[in-house]
Amino acid sequence: MADKIRKSEQEWQADLTPEQYAVTREHGTERAFTGRYWDTKTAGIYACVCCGQPLFDSSTKYDSGSGWPSFWAPIDQKSVELRDDDSLFMRRTEVLCAKCDAHLGHVFPDGPEPTGQRYCMNSAALDLKPGKADDQAAE
C-alpha cells in the first residue's frame, strides 16, 4: 500500500460535508435506514468518500436488515484495516480505509457465505461509482 493520505482536520472539514466528517474523521455513525446507500441496488464500486480508494463491489452487497449498507467482503483485504473497538461497552471490530484511516463502520461475524462476515458500513463514508467493476478497472 502506498503512503497514507494525511491532512489537517481543517482540510478534512473543507473537503467533506459535516455528516461525512462526523462519520469518517470522528468515528460517528449515521442512523439506521437513513443513509443514501442502505437499500441501493445500483451496480458499481463503493469507494472511500475521503480519498476515493475502491472498497466494496456491489456484487458483495446484501440486505442484512440492519439499515446500513452491508457487504460480505471488501474488494481487497488490503483496502481496509481492522481495529478492536471497545467503545459503547461492547467489543466490536472497526473497519477503516487503509489509505486514509477514514472510519467506515464495523464488521461482524454474522454475514452470509462465502465469508460469514457482515461489513456494516456508513453510507456517509462511501461514494458509489456506478457501473461494472471491470469497466472501472480499465480506467
Q: Tell me what pLDDT residue 90 has.
A: 75
Identify whether 34 is part of a domain: yes
Identify whether 86 is part of a domain: yes
> Are 126 and 32 within 8 A, CB to CB?
no
Q: CA-CA distance, 81 to 62, in Å (whole number)? A: 21
Residues carrying an active site annotation: 120
Q: Tell me what pLDDT residue 1 has.
A: 52
pTM: 0.90
One-letter amino acid of 85: D
Identify whether 4 is part of a domain: no
Q: Tell me what pLDDT residue 92 has.
A: 86
Number of Cβ atoms within 10 Å of the Cβ of 52: 14
How many structural domains comprise the chain? 1
Identify whether 78 is part of a domain: yes
Please give the residue range of the domain that contains residue 34: 9-132
Identify whether 1 is part of a domain: no
Which residues of the chain are modeled with pLDDT < 70?
1-2, 88, 132-139
Alpha helix positions (H), 2-118 = 9-15, 18-24
Q: Tell me what pLDDT residue 137 has.
A: 45
> Are 122 and 105 within 8 A, CB to CB?
yes
